Chain A
Amino acid sequence: MGETITFWVLAVVSVSAALGLVFSRKAVYCALMLGVVMFSLAVLYAVQDAPFLAAVQIIVYTGAVMMLFLFVLMLVGVDSSDSLVETIRGQRFWALVAGLAFAALVGLAIGNTIVGPAAGLAGATQAAGGNVPALAQLIFSRYVFAFEVASALLITAALGAMVLAHRERVRPKPTQKELARARFFSGYAPSLPGPGTYARNNAIDMPALLPDGSVSRLSVNRVIARHDVDDDHFPEDAKLADAIRQAVEEEGK
């Protein structure tokens, strides 16, 4: 009974999530929908006496593979968008027809199958002492060769990821010393000093100088300038003093 209820609840959840995955415009939403589908599958496995498969579904798929998907999505820039131009005319229509026909075919075929009462997994795995040990027995004896060969798949994937995504340094990485040396020998003046290197004051009441030596009008603090004029307290530099006076006059207008 519990299994039936769980199935029907999850059927609705996972099918709607799958539809959302297909029809959602935003890639991240698609990924989250996929997460929901995977999660519902995990629960379905759990209900059907396959706790290990459920755990694997969550650890590997909802965890690791989803992470991989999200990374791939993040590789895609914000400004990229799908091209919705059909290169083959009527493609979408026929794809839809074929898809529905296929779904109907599979649905009918499986619906027509005469299925006996469910035997349950527990009976099959009892001899080995439970679900996980039963799996272990198969993996390490009957299917051991497939198990070992599967590792070739993982090595290939490692090689592939590295070849396609990792840029090996062709030449050694330049050290700080080499970079500095290159800059000094480049013929340009060695880098200009950073801002503030030649400043004689470090106060908010001093107007700032632009790189060409002129005064930045923006940097004059109006409130302090007014106090300066009131107290007749000006910087020694005539240029700066002028700027302060000017700022107060402008404000007065």
Chain B
Amino acid sequence: MGGYFGSYALVVALFAIGVAVVAGALFLNRMLRPTRLTPDKLLTYECGVDPVGEGWAQSQVRYYVFTYLYVVFAVDAVFLFPWATVYAAPGFGMTTLVEMFLFLGFIALGIVYAWRKRVLAWT
């Protein structure tokens, strides 16, 4: 695993330490506290009211549009990363700037359309 990923070793180590601290605290807590479970304690807590029925709720189709917009942003972010790495390199500047912003402009069109259709407003 050297090379490219090697440079991330520190990040991984830090992440592992973070996880270890949180997990260790929770584990210690678990060891110290008494645990006596009753069926009532194991119920899902819903503001003191006993839960009724299934936990599955059907959502409205209109929320789908928001997830879709999220996907659009994710996709254009993906193209932005490689662009960001080469933008400063000789020869890339203006050409890639125009190309990238043409792409972003087209994508933004989808969001402008959504905005004008009052998808983003609370109704």
Residues on A close to B: CB < 8 A? 2, 46, 49, 51-52, 55-56, 59-60, 63-65, 67-68, 71-72, 74-78, 122, 129-133, 135-137, 139-140, 144, 147-148, 150-152, 154-155, 157-159, 161-162, 165-169, 173
Q: For residue B82, which residues in chain A have a CB less than 8 angstroms away from its CB?
A: 52, 132-133, 135-136, 139
Contact check, B70 vs A67: say whether CB atoms are below 8 A apart. Answer: yes
| B68 within 8 Å of A (CB atoms) | yes
Can you name the residue of chain B whose Cβ is closest to the Cβ of A59?
A: B74
Task: Identify 25 residue pairs between A and B in the complex whose beta-carbon atoms are under 8 Å apart, listed by A's number.
Answer: A2-B1, A60-B78, A63-B74, A64-B71, A68-B68, A71-B59, A71-B63, A71-B67, A75-B58, A130-B85, A133-B82, A136-B85, A140-B86, A147-B99, A154-B75, A154-B76, A154-B110, A155-B110, A157-B110, A158-B114, A161-B68, A162-B117, A162-B119, A166-B65, A168-B118
In the complex, A153→B100 CA distance in Å? 16
| B89 within 8 Å of A (CB atoms) | yes
**Stretch with Cβ within 8 A of A (4 or more), from B14-22, B43-51, B101-109:** B101-109
| B38 within 8 Å of A (CB atoms) | no
Contact check, B62 vs A165: say whether CB atoms are below 8 A apart. Answer: yes
Bitwise, B76-99 to A at CB < 8 A (1) or not (0) is 111101110110010010011001
Q: For residue A49, which residues in chain B have a CB less than 8 angstroms away from its CB?
A: 4
In the complex, A75→B68 CA distance in Å? 14
Q: For residue A157, which residues in chain B have a CB less than 8 angstroms away from its CB?
A: 68, 72, 110
Q: How large is the interface on B (under 10, 10 to 19, 20 to 34, 35 or more residues)?
A: 35 or more
Apart from A68-B68, A136-B82, A140-B92: 10 A-B pairs, beta carbons within 8 A = A2-B1, A59-B78, A60-B71, A64-B70, A135-B82, A136-B83, A140-B86, A140-B96, A150-B103, A169-B123
Residues on B close to A: CB < 8 A? 1, 3-5, 54, 56-65, 67-72, 74-79, 81-83, 85-86, 89, 92, 95-96, 99-100, 102-103, 106-107, 109-111, 113-114, 117-119, 123
Interface of B is mostly: helix
In the complex, A15→B85 CA distance in Å? 35
In the complex, A169→B75 CA distance in Å? 30
Contact check, B67 vs A68: say whether CB atoms are below 8 A apart. Answer: yes
Contact check, A133 vs B5: say whether CB atoms are below 8 A apart. Answer: no
Contact check, A162 vs B102: say whether CB atoms are below 8 A apart. Answer: no
CB distance from B88 to the nearest CB of A (A): 11
Can you name the residue of chain B whose Cβ is closest to the Cβ of A77?
A: B58
Interface of A is mostly: helix
Contact check, A51 vs B74: say whether CB atoms are below 8 A apart. Answer: no
CB distance from A7 to the nearest CB of B (A): 14
- Say which residue of A52, A129, A140, A158 sits within 8 Å of B113 (CB atoms): A158
In the complex, A169→B122 CA distance in Å? 13
In the complex, A168→B65 CA distance in Å? 13
Contact check, A158 vs B72: say whether CB atoms are below 8 A apart. Answer: yes
In the complex, A4→B67 CA distance in Å? 37
Q: For residue B119, which residues in chain A have a CB less than 8 angstroms away from its CB?
A: 162, 166
In the complex, A196→B4 CA distance in Å? 71
CB distance from A56 to the nearest CB of B (A): 5
Contact check, A46 vs B58: say whether CB atoms are below 8 A apart. Answer: no
CB distance from A5 to the nearest CB of B (A): 11
Q: For residue A72, which residues in chain B have a CB less than 8 angstroms away from its CB?
A: 64
CB distance from B114 to the nearest CB of A (A): 6
- Say which residue of A67, A132, A150 sits within 8 Å of B81 (CB atoms): A132
Task: Contacts A122-B3, A173-B123 given; indicate if A136 touches B86 (C-beta within 8 A).
Answer: yes
